Amino acid sequence: MQVPIQSSTVVRPQGTFNIIASIYRHQGLAGFWRGQLGTLIRESGGCVAWFGSNEGMKRYFRKRRNIGEEGTLPVQELMAAGAVAGMSYNFLFFPADTIKSQMQTEDVRLAGGKRTFLSVGSALYRQQGLKGLYRGCGITVARSAPSSAVIFTVFEALKKQFS
């Protein structure tokens, strides 16, 4: 029977300033912005999807009820529109967030230096296919539905209250 030998070396967390110094030492000032393109794509496209799908769903509900643009929708339809908005935001732009996270967590020294958003995305797609770009998407979409439903419903109530 073999028993693993216990190591007496204790790995301690590096601390915030040591991590900052390490990033600067290995990657320079640009290291603090690794993955920013993914954030830009996710946030700009995601906001279009978030607000656009919310408005699109409200328009659909109003048309179905045959009420005008200023017609008041029931709370359940406002919540449904918000939920669809949250799911759209997260599902459509999840690959950009996956690539960004990959870029920010990979060890640059082991990855062979500077890798671009496109090169990391291409490598991830070659290795794992479309499934790799959407790993973890299900739970993210599921948690975004109720939160976005509440956010947009509260927004509509406050808009109505203060207008």
pLDDT tens readout for residues 7-51: 556 556 678 898 888 888 887 888 888 778 888 999 999 999 999
**pLDDT at res. 62:** 95
| CA angle (47, 52, 58) in 5-degree steps | 135
**pLDDT at res. 30:** 81
Judged against a pLDDT cut of 80, whether residue 60 lies above it is answered with: yes
> Binning pLDDT at 50, 70 and 90, where does residue 107 land?
low
Q: 34-162: what CATH class?
A: mainly alpha
Q: Please name which of 124, 133, 128, 127 lies closest in space to residue 97, comparing C-alpha atoms.
A: 133
pLDDT tens readout for residues 118-146: 999 999 999 999 999 999 999 999 999 99
Give the position of tokens 């979409």.
141
**pLDDT at res. 27:** 79
- Expressed in angstroms, the distance from the first to the final Cα of the chain is 76
Judged against a pLDDT cut of 60, whether residue 72 lies above it is answered with: yes
92-108 b/e (C-beta count within 10 Å ≥ 16 → b): bbbbbbbbbebbeeeee
Judged against a pLDDT cut of 80, whether residue 2 lies above it is answered with: no
> Binning pLDDT at 50, 70 and 90, where does residue 163 land?
confident
Q: How far apart are CA 67 and CA 88, in angstroms?
A: 25
